[in-house]
Amino acid sequence: MALRELASLEKYLGLKKPNKFSTQGDKKVPVMQNNNAPPLVGLVTIACHLVKEAKRPELLGDSAEGRAVVQQWLEYRVTKLDSHAKEDIKSILKDLNLYLQDKVYLAGNQLTLSDVLMYYGMHSIILDLTVQEKEQCVNVTRWFDHIQHQPGVRHHLPPVVVLRNRLYTSRHH
């Protein structure tokens, strides 16, 4: 899974020469062969390296603070999101929904690597939601839909239908 993500990221970044990837261990941690240096291990480590290779530093944030917020969500992706237990999904969606209520992107005012990797990591979760569940985390699905429509981001993943009009009225009425 991580390898397909990295291949999609390479295409999104417009990297002409694909890198050599493999995986290690039971958890299939991605490994990238790195010409004259030791191989790089780990999804976030490799993704950040690819962004630098493509000379797109703005994708890692445009200030020290912006870079920190990008890293925060990258770390969230590989710690909280990738190792979540089934019963955690609700609280993850609830937290993200609150965070995204006044935001277009996860960090700052433009697309960053954190949006791309969180989108890849969230895809299977969003795909499994019912229409009603999607409406309960409308800020997450709005963000998700926005990212999947960014040119060149989606690649290996099928689009997820997100309705923009409510089918269900609020349960509290």
Partner 1 sequence: MELFVSEGNPHCLKVLAALEVTGVQCGVQFISHEEKVVPFLSRPALPALLLPSGKHLFSSNTICRYLFELNGQESSNQCNQWLEWEATVLQPVLLRALHIAVLQGKGSEVSSVLQGSLNVLDQSLCKANMTYLTGEAVSVADVVLWGALHPVLSDSSLTLGDHKSAKAWFDRVAAMRGCQSAAQKVLQGKGLEAMKGYMQKQPAPQSNQGRDTQPCNSN
Task: Kindly write down the DSSP assignment for every residue of the chain, as one continuous string.
Answer: -HHHHHHHHHHHHT-SSPPPEEEETTTTEEEEEETTEEEEESHHHHHHHHHHHTT-GGGG-SSHHHHHHHHHHHHHIIIIITT--GGGHHHHHHHHHHHGGG-SSSSTTS--HHHHHHHHHHHHHHHT--HHHHHHTHHHHHHHHHHHTSTTT-TTS------SS-SS--TT-
Binding partner 1 (rule: CB under 8 A), the pick from 49, 56, 146, 155 is: 49
Nearer to partner 1, 50 or 160 (CB): 50
Residues 73-92, mask of contacts with partner 1 (x by CB under 8 A) = --xx-xx--xx-x-----x-
Binding partner 1 (rule: CB under 8 A), the pick from 3, 7, 44, 125 is: 44
Scanning residues 111 to 130, which ones bind partner 1 (CB under 8 A)?
Answer: none
Q: In the bound complex, what is the minimum distance in angstroms from residue 172's beta carbon to partner 1?
A: 19
Task: Work out the end-to-end distance of the chain between its first and last CA atoms, rounded to an integer number of angstroms.
Answer: 42
For residue 98, state whether it binds partner 1 (rule: CB under 8 A).
yes
For residue 68, state whether it binds partner 1 (rule: CB under 8 A).
yes
Stretch binding partner 1 (CB under 8 A), from 1-9, 35-43, 147-155, 163-171: 35-43
Contact 23, 1 (CB under 8 A): no
For residue 69, state whether it binds partner 1 (rule: CB under 8 A).
yes
Residues binding partner 1 (CB under 8 A) = 29, 37, 40-45, 48-49, 64-65, 67-69, 71-72, 75-76, 78-79, 82-83, 85, 91, 94-95, 98-99
